[in-house]
Structure 1
Amino acid sequence: MNDDLKGFYRLVQGSRERVFAWAQTLPPEVYTAEHPDFAYGSIRNIQEHIAGCYLIWVGSRGLGLPIPHTEAVSIPDVAAMREVFRQVDGVIERALNEFSALDEPLDIQWHNGPLTVTRRWLLLHPITHEFHHKGQMLALGRVLGHPSDTDTDLLLPSEV
């Protein structure tokens, strides 16, 4: 497998860890607080949505694993969410080791028919999706009175 993608995912994991460290400082009721103006409603729910994206796109569609049935309400706190992301990391590690021909067209099931993507796209789509939703989590934290004072952008290569 492409070592560049493995290195890139390590940068993503480090950036995710910064978000987890921030989330760990939140009072539990803030982590799970529902806000109607934000997609998915709470920081916890947004993180579960991100994890589900990885597990469905890479795990189910890319590796043929069963579709996970995790519900955000069953994840009570940041420690439990870290466990969900350990599962995500396992799926990504497996894909990084098993995927070959990264840029050859791949037909996957999407809604009512096939969607042509590549294995590289399957890996990169949930990463870009995670960073999109990370902004939502940080904005929600700010709205709830708990802004992050940590840089949560992609780690620098020297930080890995």
Structure 2
Amino acid sequence: MNADLRDLYSWVQAARERVFAWAESLPAEIYTQERPDFAYGSLRNVQAHIADCYFAWIGVRGLGLPLGSERLDTSAAIDVAAMRRVYNEVDGVLEQAFTQFTQPDGFLDVQFHDEALRVTQRWLVMHPITHEFHHKGQMLTMGRILGWPYPPGPDTDLGLPTESGIG
């Protein structure tokens, strides 16, 4: 796969680390607090949904990995440390894609519900990344509403190249 996508993903990981560090600073009951007015119900559940997107699009549709469970069992991810382990698995799927996706702009058909979508391997990597950033914004808004805003300092945009070992 194109080295640029691997570099981009390392910046995503650095940004994700900032969100994990913030989540670790929250009381455990805030991280898992269920609210019907929040997307996916809680901060933890949003992170699980993001991981599911990586697994489904890159793992299952792109790499042909077995589906396993349709959705991540959030009861098993009881805290931030457990969610970090889930994202270690996400990182493993991405590493596999970076190794196996050899034609990033070649078209392939993937099944999505009842239709076939014509996408590229590059798109399969970029889709969950943009999806993660969309939901990260929701998480930070949810944190503010719960009384635990993201602190001043480094924002949650892409990590700097120096944070990810590049440059």
Q: Same fold (TM over 0.5)?
A: yes
Whole-angstrom distance in 1 between the partners of 2:146 and 2:20? 17
Other-structure match for 2:156: 152
Partner deviation per Cα, 1:33-82 (whole Å, 9 max, x = no partner): 01222110100000000000000000000000011422112210000000
Would you say the 8 A contact 2:143–2:149 is kept in 1?
Answer: yes
Structure 1 residues not aligned, in runs of 5+: none
What TM-score, normalized to structure 1?
A: 0.96
Other-structure match for 2:123: 121
Other-structure match for 2:40: 40
Which shows bigger deviation, 9-18 or 31-40?
Answer: 31-40
Other-structure match for 1:7: 7
Which of 80, 83, 86 is 1:81 aligned to?
83
| DSSP-derived class of the 2:118 partner | strand
Structure 2 residues not aligned, in runs of 5+: none
Would you say the 8 A contact 1:32–1:42 is kept in 2?
Answer: yes
Runs ≥4 residues deviating over 3 A: none
State the 1:109 CA deviation: 1.0
Would you say the 8 A contact 2:14–2:160 is kept in 1?
Answer: no
| DSSP-derived class of the 1:73 partner | coil
RMSD: 1.0
Give the total of aligned pairs.
160
Identical-pair percentage: 59
| DSSP-derived class of the 1:147 partner | coil
- Amino acid paired to 1:64: G
